[in-house]
Amino acid sequence: MVDYDPAVPRRVTRLVRFKEVQHRVGLGRSTIYRWMAEGKFPKPVQLGGYAVAWAEEDISTWIEESAVKSAGK
C-alpha cells in the first residue's frame, strides 16, 4: 500500500471533489471517512473552510492497488 504522506512534495495535476471521488471508488461517505481514519484511504487536501479535495493521482493509485489486492485473493 502506498504511504499517503502529506509532507512528501509532489506535483498535483488535478484535484477532485468528494462527489467525484465517491463516484469513482463506489463507496459511501461514511466508509470513505472511516477508511481515511484507519489509514486505508488517501486523505484530502484542505482548500479552505470545510472544502476539501483529493489529488486525482492519489485516487487513481488507490483504485489500482485495490484492484491488485482483489485479484490476489
Instruction: Give tens-digit pLDDT for 14-64.
Output: 999 999 999 999 999 999 999 999 999 999 999 999 999 999 999 999 999
Q: Given this model, what pLDDT does residue 71 score?
A: 82
pTM score, whole prediction: 0.77
Q: Has domain 15-72 been given CATH number 1.10.8?
A: no
Q: Given this model, what pLDDT does residue 21 score?
A: 98
Q: Is residue 12 scored above 60 in pLDDT?
A: no
Predicted confidence band of residue 5 (pLDDT cuts 50, 70, 90): low
Q: CA 42, CA 45: separation in Å to the nearest integer?
A: 10
Q: CA 23, CA 66: separation in Å to the nearest integer?
A: 15
Instruction: Tell me how crowded residue 62 is: count the other CB atoms within 10 A of its CB.
Output: 21
